[in-house]
């Protein structure tokens, strides 16, 4: 494509047709809301890994490296699943796990509690353990070693394909902005991809080296900030800037 005198490959955003402004704005606003919802989802899942509200480095370590002082079930009951069972039920389950998960107590004591509190999700939702059987339950009573390699591979390829595709269209729209210094524009367009790769790489690194959890914080903050900058700048130029 030939570059226009205004520094972009097409017309400036303030001059595009009203129908395109509507299309671009609808997309950018929806993506912006999606980013906010993803942040809320992270707070309600990974952000509760240590049993406390708010995302911390410890949450990331527990999510990917694991809390190796106990079982995965214990970590979940004291973390992200804490709100889904009473304190009494959680204590009974932890006691059962620490006693070696005896089979003889499953049918009479443990299964009824699981059916009442857990199986609404842990029986029908793909990708999470099935708690309707003893074998499914004991799959999470071993030492918590965090995310498994198959889980990391599945989540990584979804994020790399899906989020990169989202960034592509945000960056195309942002490339039509004017008045942004060329170096800043190039950096803003490159940043989401660089931070996304860093973010996904850090999951694998944290699985083996807990200190790499800091890279996850940097990666997530980096691509969120770059995306917010491009979205807000593009919307402002479309509707409030006069050439």
What is the residue-level pLDDT of the chain in tens, covering all 243 positions? 455 545 556 688 888 999 999 999 999 999 999 999 998 888 877 766 666 677 888 888 888 988 777 777 777 777 777 777 788 888 888 888 888 888 888 878 888 888 888 877 877 677 677 788 888 887 777 777 888 899 999 999 999 999 999 999 999 999 999 989 999 999 999 999 999 999 999 999 999 999 999 999 999 999 999 999 999 999 999 998 765
Residues 232 and 182 in one domain: yes
Residues 154 and 228 in one domain: yes
pLDDT in tens, 165-176: 999 999 999 999
Q: Of 138, 164, 195, at which residue does a domain stop?
A: 138
Residues 197 and 233 in one domain: yes
Say how far apart CA 177 and CA 185 lie, in whole Å: 9
Task: Check if the beta carbon of residue 203 is closer than 8 Å to that of residue 147.
Answer: yes
Residues 153 and 91 in one domain: no
**Helix count and strand count (H, E) for the chain:** 9, 0
Residues 20 and 40 in one domain: yes
Residues 163 and 101 in one domain: no
Q: What pTM was computed for the model?
A: 0.72
Residues 220 and 103 in one domain: no
What's the number of domains the chain is made of? Answer: 2
Say how far apart CA 240 and CA 187 lie, in whole Å: 24
pLDDT in tens, 61-111: 888 988 777 777 777 777 777 777 788 888 888 888 888 888 888 878 888
- Give the domain extent around 188: 13-47+147-239
> Three-class SS of residue 143?
strand
What is the rounded end-to-end Cα distance, in angstroms, of the chain?
23
């Amino acid at each position: 494509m030939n570059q226009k005198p205004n520094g972009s490959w097409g017309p400036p955003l303030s001059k595009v047709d009203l129908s395109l402004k509507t299309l671009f704005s609808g997309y950018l606003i929806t993506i912006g809301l999606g980013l906010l919802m993803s942040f809320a989802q992270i707070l309600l899942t990974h952000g509760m890994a240590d049993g406390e509200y708010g995302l911390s480095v410890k949450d990331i370590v527990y999510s990917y490296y694991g809390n190796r002082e106990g079982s995965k079930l214990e970590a979940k009951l004291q973390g992200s699943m804490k709100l889904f069972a009473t304190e009494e039920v959680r204590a009974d389950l932890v006691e059962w796990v620490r006693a070696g998960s005896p089979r003889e107590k499953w049918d009479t004591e443990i299964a009824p509690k699981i059916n009442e509190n857990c199986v609404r999700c842990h029986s029908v939702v793909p990708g999470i353990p099935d708690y309707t059987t003893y074998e499914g339950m004991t799959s999470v009573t071993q030492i918590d070693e965090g995310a498994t390699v198959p889980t990391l591979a599945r989540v990584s390829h979804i994020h790399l394909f899906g989020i990169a595709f989202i960034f592509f269209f945000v960056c195309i729209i942002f490339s039509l902005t004017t008045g942004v210094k060329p170096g800043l524009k190039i950096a803003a367009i490159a940043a989401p991809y660089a931070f996304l790769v860093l973010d996904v790489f850090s999951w694998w690194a944290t699985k083996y080296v807990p200190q790499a959890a800091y890279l996850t914080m940097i990666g997530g903050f980096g691509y969120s900030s770059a995306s917010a900058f491009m979205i807000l700048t593009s919307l402002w130029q479309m509707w409030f800037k006069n050439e």
